[in-house]
Copies of this chain bind each other. A is one copy, B any other.
């Protein structure tokens, strides 16, 4: 009996299953770490989502600031005679889009701050992700369109004379372009957020 025990126990040695031994080499790089399951991956995902949420809020906030400045600067661009912004359709277009962008980014930032502070969703997550993605895209297209329609006109005016009117227009245009850059980046983040929605 003791002989049998002594013989059989050394023979049983727990083999590491082949799955476990083949997994580690693929876990080496950071990207595939979510694969390994475990709490680390889930925590990392939560962290990343939190970072995304804050990043998207920051980008929208900056876009709101830039489009507000663009709107105010362009709306105050009246210096009498031919130097009124509303005598040129490009500037009127820029102003209209700057107002639209301010409203959109303001509304989105308000919604996000509300959700962060009360931890209550105003919209269904999937609906919100769709709205984010399409809204950001459309406003970004409109902003780049209005800025590029106003640039050649301002360029041509500045060839003739360089006065306070053309300078103010140029600054409003550049603010619109900055707002566009922020919203284009925000659209990328929204695309990622849409992709983490379970069923599309």
Contacts and interface: CB of A to CB of B under 8 A. Distances in A.
Interface of A: 31-32, 34-35, 89-90, 133, 137, 140-141, 144-149, 151-153, 155, 184, 187-188, 191-192, 194-196, 199-200
Given A145-B148, A152-B153, A133 B199 contact: no
A192 B200 contact: yes
Main secondary structure on A side of the interface with B: helix
How many monomers of this chain does the complex have? Answer: 2
A141 B184 contact: yes
A125 B200 CA distance: 20
Nearest to A192: B200
Contacts of A89: 152, 155
A199 B32 contact: yes
Contacts of A144: 141, 144-145, 148
Given A191-B194, A191-B195, A195-B195, A149 B152 contact: yes
Given A144-B144, A200-B192, A152 B90 contact: yes
